[in-house]
Amino acid sequence: MRIGQQKVEKDAGPEGRRAQRRELRQVMWTALGLLAWAVLLFNPLRACAEGDDESEYRVKLAFLYNFAQFVEWPQDAFRDPAAPLTICVAGQDPFQGEIGQGLRARTAGGHLVDIRKLKRDESPRGCHMIFVRAGDRKLAGRLLADLRGSSTLTVGETKGFADLGGVINLVVEENKLRFEINLGAARHTRLKISSKLLALAKIVDAAP
């Protein structure tokens, strides 16, 4: 440890030193997350080419978690500081069992992550993020209409989802998984999207 850093930690006291170490760990994990994400973005997504749904959705779940790391929700989106960050799945849930279990032990923005299926007739506004499965354009349209003006991050996997008003859409291009961000839709939320996330996205500026 450098002498200057040692002096700062000494002056900060035990609580200050612990806070500094927590902040350093958070920076390190963020950097590692960006590195791992870059590997996912720029390496071939063999799962999609081979039709291996389980492997494909493991990768997509990693993307959802990284979205949660680089999007900031307003404070009043959580009932209290200990409330989880809830990711809902609209349509058939591909993250059941072992695939989604590891995510539930992780945190984003200081909140434990909870992932669950959106129930029939349940309001989507209770979700911080909602993943809309492919194959039901009517469902996607209804959910996006219900969520207009909310603080829910909408993520889809269907061609044209961003043009419909979804904030983020996962797309496969040249056997690689990438994502689009609709800035027009994002402006109608109270979400703060990190410039690091925007830098990795294909930007769509369509009106919601």
The Cα–Cα gap between 148 and 143 comes to 9
Residue 138 — pLDDT band, cuts 50, 70, 90?
A: confident
* pLDDT score, position 119: 92
Q: What is the mean pLDDT of the chain?
A: 80
At 85-120, the pLDDT tens digits run: 999 999 989 998 878 887 888 899 999 999 999 998
* pLDDT score, position 110: 92
Q: What percent of the chain has pLDDT over 90?
A: 50
Extract long-range pairs of 157-161: CB within 8 Å, 24+ residues apart.
157/60, 157/131, 157/132, 157/133, 158/132, 158/134, 161/132
* pLDDT score, position 184: 92
